[in-house]
Every structure is written in structure tokens, then in C-alpha cells.
Amino acid sequence: MKAKTIVKNFGFEVEEEPVSIYPFSPVYRMKRPEGDFIVKKTQHPIEKANRLMRYTRVLNEQGVDVVTPAKIQLENPRTMDEETYVVYPFVQGIPYTGQDREIVEAGRLLGRIHALSPADNEYALDIYNVFDFTEVEVKESFQHIEQNAASHGITMNPKLEDRLLQAVRQQEELKQAGLLFVATPHDFKANNLVYTPQPYLIDPDNAGWVPRIFDLALVLLLFHNELASAPDRTFTKKQWHLFLTGYGESVNLSHEEKANWPKALDHVFLDEVMWLMADVEEDWRNPAQRALFNSLIQLFLDFEEYSLI
């Protein structure tokens, strides 16, 4: 479906085809006399979208700065051509730049979100259950990573493949570890926050029922991904512990979570980073993204200093 049709179905009048402000997914900034709005794809089918919106509304009612559907006269969210879209109010703010204060505040926000999670999956969010990686899949992905790196004169450390294969072998043990699950946006990255001056979550549409330490591992690995104003590397040791300082104001991690942290990092790298480095060839053409990939590999192969306090 054309972008013009999508936004018109929400009551926005446009002459020309809107252009997405995000290169990897349809996200359109629209204007009306009463303000600016974002039209974007959300979870599908509509039943899942409505459960997501109920979750974010409750978070917002509890004082969490997170976008909720805009109050418009038409159904919002709504399904069009087997995809579901939502209109959010545009949140005016400044982007993350890697300052210490921004990192502590981001940790504080995620800590509050995790602390407000119900004990059970009462919002019926999608349950994380990705524990079916194979060694064949890893070997193929590593070959693609080597090819992408070689095209830019980079030789890939073979230890990366060994660690990824190790992650495959321990995934069943991790699945059976009895980890604590929480309701969470599960895409808590700097490009999904604006500072107003406090961090405001502007993209909660990947929310799910996820092991809590998996969500933290995703932050450590990819918080700086896909944001030009962010540093072109992962958190430093100092920055990571600043994030945990803010996070720890609301959450006390269990002994079991701390014990399983190294395996969780392995698994989230396998699930979230491996495909990014293997499949998104155009990222390797971006010097900042190549630097981030190099930093990710260094952290992955030696993350002893990135513990959970």
C-alpha cells in the first residue's frame, strides 16, 4: 500500500507521497494545525496491536514517559492490507549524544519499566522463545560476515565463530534456566529515545515478554546502533556501570540472573547482532557502523569488565 493511502486513511491530507524518516521501516512525520504526528507500522494483527497499546497506556498512566496512540477521530491503530499502523503524537526533544547524564537517565527509565512489569504476562505480549539456532546457521552467517568485512579490508577473528557456536550449544541450558521474564519494549536503544530533557521512549512497538537479562544484554550490545549522534562504539566500562547505576535504583537483579549473564550476552549476540553483521551489507559501507561492529566483536570476545552489579 502506498504511503499516501496509509496516511490518508488516518485523515491526513497530502498532495505528494510521504517519505519515511527511517530507512528500515515505514515511519512518516505528518503535520496538522494542532501539531505533528508519527504514522508507523506496529504489531500485527490488530489484536496484538491493541494489547501493545494497553501495555503502553498503563505504563504512561504510571508515570513512564512513553508514547501512546494519538487521540484522533478515526480508529487508531488500524489494519490496512494485512499490516497494522498506528498514529503517535510527535515528541519534540533532542537526540542522545553519549553524555553521562543521558546514560544514567536511560538506565533509570528502563529500570522503572522493568520494575512496573506484572508478575505474569497479563498483556499477552509475544513471549520470547528463540532458542533454535543451529551450527549450520552460524557457519553460514559467519561466512557472510567474513565476506562483508573482507570487502573493506577487515580480517575477521576466527574466535568469533567459536563463540557463536558455543552460544548455540548452551542455548537449551539457558532456555531451561528459569530466568525471570518481564514486559518490556525490547528495543531499548538510543535511537528510540529523545530527551525532553528526561528520556522519552518514542518507539515501544517491539514490546514483548522477555527474559529481563536478555533486555539488558540488548542494551549493552546495541544501544548505540543506528544513531548518528551516538558514539560509534559500544558502551565503555564506565558508561555501562553508569547505566546500571540508574537501572539499579528500581531493580535488584537476582543471583541466578547474574550467574547466567555471560550466557545471556552470548545468546543475544547470536540472536540480535549476528544477523545484523551478516545480512545488512550496506551497514558495512558506513565507517561509523563498521567501527561499531569492531567494538561489538571486541566486547563479545572479552566482556569480563561488563558485569552486572
pLDDT in tens, 223-249: 999 999 999 999 999 999 999 999 999
Q: How far apart are CA 78 and CA 251, in angstroms?
A: 35
Q: How far apart are CA 157 and CA 154, in angstroms?
A: 9
Amino acid at 309: I
Q: Mean pLDDT, to the nearest integer, of 199-204?
A: 98
Q: How far apart are CA 40 and CA 84, in angstroms?
A: 9
- Domain spans of the chain, in order of start: 3-89, 100-301
Percent share of the chain, pLDDT over 70: 100
How high does pLDDT run on average in the chain? Answer: 96
Is-contact 264 217, C-beta < 8 A? yes
Which residue's entry shows cell 528463540?
130
pLDDT of residue 265: 97
Q: Mean pLDDT, to the nearest integer, of 106-111?
A: 98
Band (pLDDT 50/70/90 cuts) for residue 266 is: very high
Q: Is the pLDDT score of 101 beyond 90?
A: yes
Cα angle 144-147-148, degrees, rounded to a multiple of 5: 85
The CATH number of the domain covering residues in 3-89: 3.30.200.20
If residue 100 lies in a helix (H) or strand (E), which one and from where to where?
helix 100-115
CATH topology of domain 100-301: Aminoglycoside 3'-phosphotransferase; Chain: A, domain 2 (3.90.1200)
Band (pLDDT 50/70/90 cuts) for residue 133 is: very high
Band (pLDDT 50/70/90 cuts) for residue 45 is: very high
pLDDT of residue 24: 80
Band (pLDDT 50/70/90 cuts) for residue 1 is: confident
Q: How far apart are CA 119 and CA 14, in angstroms?
A: 45
Examine domains 3-89 and 100-301 and report if their fold is the same: no
